[in-house]
């Protein structure tokens, strides 16, 4: 029988239209899925990462935890989009002590905001700090620097506390996705890309040897097509979502309209991913990207994967994080997990974190 460690946290992903919750257990045979569930949020309760309706969101959160019978109230969540900035840079011939003393000045160079308005954090992904002596000189060190808008972070904390939850770690969404991919996908290339196409944000992350060397966020996503279908076909939000993902038939008289809408938005998302990849290639011609891992609910849209692969010339794979976990088929419907896999990558990455993690 698996027993959760005291340091294990419950992953909570607050999306534009849904709350996703995941709980994992660590055992001698690997990671086991203990809980996974979702709750639908009222439209526009979160807009571009900004909480608009905390009362409704906290109610849905509490209901999901209650339905899943999750007793652990210690959670890890993430923010994304314009509210957070991720920068990677390299320093040479400096000791850990010197680097730590200069983080503020480095932040002033790399973060284009008033530092009084952001929370700063940093990490050295490729080294173990505990094995280094403070005065030890390092030939080269990659540093990941993160700045998060204080007002946004504080609003998330207040929201979770209102739902009787205890936020322990605030992660960055694209790093949580990377965490899941690295833990679950076998034989990753040395350099690979991540395309996260969600409801309201498209994020591109290029990773080399575990270091995010390029990131780009754009305020576009599947919600655009959903709202266009609502407006043109007189559907409510859930009906439009079903039609978008192939779960609802297209009205005969609206087939042409639907095809044109699909073509318009698939082209827009493909162009956005393509522009990010081309910019990276132009600025880093010596670094080939051999594979692109696609995640997010919009990645399930028929034809999008193949279109992006064709336009970028990169092999694209849609990620299902549940394939790398131990699953009790008596507790979970495999078809359900397979369907929601692409949009569950972030929450699984969050659930992998432990209290005390950097």
* Domain layout of the chain by residue ranges: 84-149, 187-318
Contacts of 194 (CB under 8 A, 6+ apart): 174, 177, 178, 181, 203, 204, 205, 206, 207, 292, 293, 294, 295
pLDDT of residue 8: 84
Average pLDDT over residues 284-313: 93
Q: Longest Cα pair distance anywhere in the chain, in angstroms?
A: 73
Helix 304-312, helix 255-283: angle, nearest 10? 40
What is the predicted pLDDT for the residue at 68?
A: 95
CA distance linking residue 319 with residue 131, whole number of Å = 34
Nearest to 323 by CA among 341, 311, 307, 301: 341
DSSP lists the bridge partners of residue 32 as 25, 326
Between residues 342 and 127, which one has the greater pLDDT?
342
Cα–Cα dist 184/179, whole Å:
9
| Residue 220, C-beta contacts closer than 8 angstroms, at least 6 positions apart | 200, 201, 202, 268, 269, 272
pLDDT over 90 percentage in the chain: 59
pLDDT tens column, 186-239: 889 999 999 999 888 899 999 998 899 999 988 888 989 999 999 999 998 889
Assigned token pair, 251? 């009205």
Q: Is the pLDDT of residue 269 over 80?
A: yes
Higher pLDDT, 6 or 247: 247
CA dist 284 to 166, 202, 204, 276, 277, Å?
Answer: 41, 21, 15, 12, 10
Q: Is the pLDDT of residue 4 over 90?
A: no
Please state the rounded mean pLDDT for residues 46-68.
Answer: 90
Say what the pLDDT of residue 5 is.
53
Residue 24 has pLDDT above 80, yes or no: yes
- Confidence class of residue 65 from pLDDT cuts 50, 70 and 90? very high
Number of neighbours of residue 111 by Cβ within 10 angstroms: 16
Q: What's CA 152's distance to the chain center, in Å?
A: 17
Question: What are the pLDDT digits (tens) for 112-168?
Answer: 888 899 999 988 776 666 666 767 777 777 888 899 999 999 999 999 999 999 999
Superfamily of domain 187-318: ATPase, nucleotide binding domain (3.30.420.40)
Tokens representing 320? 């299902």
Q: Tell me the pLDDT of the chain averaged across its residues.
A: 89
For residues 266 and 323, give the distance between their C-alpha atoms in angstroms, rounded to a whole number: 27
In terms of CATH architecture, what is 84-149? 2-Layer Sandwich (3.30)
Of the candidates 317, 314, 296, 93, the residue with the CA atom closest to the CA atom of residue 196: 296
DSSP secondary structure letter of residue 52: S
Rounded mean pLDDT of 38-48? 86
What are the structure tokens assigned to 30, written together? 């690997």
| DSSP assignment of 69-121 | T----EEEEEE-GGGEEEEEEEEEEEEHHHHHHHHHHHHHHH--S-GGGEEEE
Return the closest-CA partner of residue 120 out of 144, 142, 93, 137: 144
CA atoms within 13 A on the CB side of 270: 20
Name the DSSP class of 130: G
Helices marked H in 11-95 — which ranges? 54-68
Indicate the pLDDT class of residue 23, thresholds 50, 70 and 90: very high
- Model confidence over 72-128: pLDDT tens digits? 999 999 998 888 998 888 888 778 778 777 788 888 888 888 889 999 998 877 666
Residues with Cβ < 8 Å from 179, sequence gap 6 or more?
A: 349, 350, 352, 353
pLDDT > 50? residue 3 = no
Q: φ, ψ for residue 73 (rounded to 5)? A: -100, 0
């Amino acid at each position: 029988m698996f027993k959760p460690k005291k340091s294990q946290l419950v992953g909570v992903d607050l999306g534009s239209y849904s709350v996703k919750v995941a709980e994992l257990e660590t055992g001698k045979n690997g990671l086991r899925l203990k809980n996974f569930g979702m709750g639908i949020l009222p439209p526009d309760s979160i807009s571009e990462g900004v909480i608009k309706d905390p009362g409704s969101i906290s109610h849905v959160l509490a209901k999901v935890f209650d339905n899943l019978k999750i007793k652990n109230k210690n959670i890890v969540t993430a923010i994304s989009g314009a509210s957070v900035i991720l920068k990677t840079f390299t320093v040479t011939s400096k000791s850990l002590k010197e680097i730590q003393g200069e983080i503020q000045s480095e932040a002033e160079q790399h973060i284009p905001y008033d530092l009084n308005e952001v929370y700063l954090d940093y990490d050295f992904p490729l080294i173990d700090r505990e094995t280094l002596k403070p005065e030890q000189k390092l030939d080269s060190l990659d540093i990941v620097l993160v700045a998060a808008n204080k007002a946004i972070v504080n609003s998330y904390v207040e929201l979770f506390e209102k739902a009787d939850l205890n936020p322990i770690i605030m992660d960055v969404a694209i790093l949580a996705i990377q965490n899941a991919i690295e833990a679950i996908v076998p034989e990753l290339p040395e350099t690979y890309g991540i395309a996260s196409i969600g409801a309201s944000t498209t994020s591109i992350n290029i990773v080399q040897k575990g270091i995010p060397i390029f990131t780009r966020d754009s305020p576009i996503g599947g919600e655009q097509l959903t709202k266009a279908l609502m407006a043109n076909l007189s559907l409510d939000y859930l009906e439009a979502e079903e039609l978008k993902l192939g779960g609802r038939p297209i009205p005969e008289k609206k087939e042409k309209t639907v095809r044109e809408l699909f073509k318009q938005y698939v082209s827009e998302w493909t162009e956005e991913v393509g522009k990010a990849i081309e910019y990276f290639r132009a600025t880093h011609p010596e670094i080939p990207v051999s594979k692109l891992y696609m995640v997010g609910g919009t990645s399930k849209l028929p034809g999008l994967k193949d279109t992006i692969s064709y336009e970028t010339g990169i092999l694209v794979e849609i990620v299902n994080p549940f394939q790398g976990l131990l699953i009790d088929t008596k507790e979970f419907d495999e078809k359900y997990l397979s369907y929601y896999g692409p949009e569950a990558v972030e929450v699984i990455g969050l659930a992998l974190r432990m209290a005390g993690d950097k």
